[in-house]
Amino acid sequence: MLAGGLVAAMTAGVIAVQTFKPAAPASAAEVLRLAAEAASATPWPEPRDDQYLHYERIAETRSENGVPNVGPRHITGEVWESVDGSRPELWWHKPSKSHPQDREYKELLTRCPSGPGAGRPAYADLRGWPTGQEQLRHKLAERGNEMVLKKDTATQIWRAVVSVLGSPIPPKQQAAIFKIAATLPGIETEELKDATGKSGIAVTRVDNQGPGGAISRESLIFDKTSYVLLGGQELAPGQGRELWSITRPQITDVLPAWSKSLKPRGCA
């Protein structure tokens, strides 16, 4: 499952990211607490509902431990995401530097209907999510239950956390989500690289969700200095290793002129 987070530049230049330089975090909960502080402290523009979030997504799937028929697969693309989800979003898939032979293509995608199993909430919907811990915990558990049935509440919340953070999210909600994630059992820290190859400090949760109780590891990866979210990783039995990373979005009023020649296909 590909999911995500935030990294670098903004519309008219580079946005300053507050840097935290405490002693090395002793626990996964401390990393997430610092990530919540970073989310709250980083300047962030407030897009209108009729605008688009424009950002780059990088994703990669690799074979792991001899898993057959998995990867390598690389996706590098630009995304124009409708803030309120009322208009189609634009995806421009590009060959990656490591795989220049890959096909380039562009597509318009409408938002999938709401309800169980639907796609990720629109940015404007997330802006309306509660930031109070109990209300937000319930919201995440509810979404997680739609994604992974017959799992304990902590697993469902963690799955929802990773899913929601896979695209830009309002900073207040992002900070509140990190605080909830910090309370979940079974989280640990390790050093991992995101889809761009940048090394970061990861918070990982282990789940016996594979066939025969095989172990799955799902991670959020943070900058080692600023604690800004870089991306994530999932290592699942029989599915290989999936990595993702997204850039901080720019805000734009319209789609590129060339998108007018495209017809909507499918939903996101």
The confidence score (pLDDT) of residue 49 equals 97
Cα-based angle 6, 9, 14 (whole degrees, multiple of 5): 135
Report the C-alpha gap between 107 and 221 in whole angstroms: 29
pLDDT, one tens digit per residue, over 127-172 is 999 999 999 999 999 998 888 777 889 999 999 999 999 999 999 9
Query: What is the C-alpha to C-alpha distance for residues 75 and 72, in angstroms, rounded to an integer?
Result: 10
User: Are 259 and 90 contacting, i.e. CB atoms less than 8 angstroms apart?
Assistant: yes
- CA atoms of 159 and 82, how far apart (whole Å): 24
Domain residue ranges of the chain, discontinuous segments joined by +: 9-256
β partners of residue 98? none
Choice among 199-213, 222-236, 242-256 with the minimum mean pLDDT: 199-213
Answer whether the bond into residue 45 is a cis peptide, omega within 30°.
no
User: pTM higher than 0.85, yes or no?
Assistant: no
Quick one: average pLDDT of 111-134?
Answer: 82
Domain 9-256 classification at class level: mainly beta
Token duo for residue 71? 């990867």
> In 10 A of CB 12, how many CB atoms?
7
Phi, psi values for residue 260, rounded to 5°: -65, -20
Q: Which residue has the higher pLDDT, 226 or 98?
A: 226
The CA distance from 228 to 105, in Å, is 31
Q: What is the pLDDT of residue 215?
A: 72
Task: Report how far residue 64's alpha carbon sits from residue 66's, in angstroms, rounded to the nearest whole number.
Answer: 6
Place of tokens 């935290």: 20
CA 25 to chain centre: 22
Closest C-alpha among 240, 177, 190, 248 to residue 219: 190
Contact criterion met (CB below 8 Å) for 77 and 90: no
Those residues whose C-beta lies under 8 Å from the C-beta of residue 215, and which sit 6 or more positions away, are 206, 207, 208, 237
Helix (H) or strand (E) holding 264: strand 264-267
Residues 34-69: tens digit of each pLDDT = 999 999 998 888 999 999 999 999 988 777 666 555
**Is residue 208 pLDDT above 80, yes or no?**
no
